[in-house]
């Protein structure tokens, strides 16, 4: 598989940890299942299948922008 198809949300984990949140705490704040957060952070989810509503919920809970959650490679594709 191409790297861009299974790209991890590297920044999701980084931002979560910078804010001192566990996956469980982020799940409670965002309404996204803890197992889903783990899958996103570990690259187990095809980025083409991530719902925008999921990214919005995570970004809202982390007080950041959706674009802040994705890698530099994906930012170039989105922008």
Q: What is the pLDDT of residue 64?
A: 95
Chain Cα centroid distance, residue 11: 7
Interhelix angle 52-62/23-30, nearest 10 degrees = 110
Q: What is the pLDDT of residue 7?
A: 59
pTM: 0.81
Q: What is the pLDDT of residue 3?
A: 45
Token look-up 């490679």 returns 73
Local confidence band at 71 (pLDDT 50, 70, 90 cut-offs): low
Domain assignments of the chain as residue spans, ordered by start: 3-78
Q: What is the pLDDT of residues 27-68, one digit of tens each?
A: 999 999 999 999 999 888 877 788 989 999 999 999 999 888
Mean pLDDT, residues 10-23 taken together? 93
Structure tokens at 67: 């674009």
Q: Just give the CATH number of 3-78.
A: 1.10.260.40
């Amino acid at each position: 598989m191409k790297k861009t198809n299974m790209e991890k949300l590297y920044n999701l984990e980084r931002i979560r940890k910078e804010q001192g949140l566990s996956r469980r705490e982020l799940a409670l704040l965002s309404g996204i299942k803890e197992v889903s957060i783990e899958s996103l952070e570990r690259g187990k989810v095809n980025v083409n299948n991530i719902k925008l509503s999921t990214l919005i919920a995570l970004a809202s809970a982390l007080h950041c922008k959706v674009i802040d959650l994705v890698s530099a490679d994906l930012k170039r594709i989105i922008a």
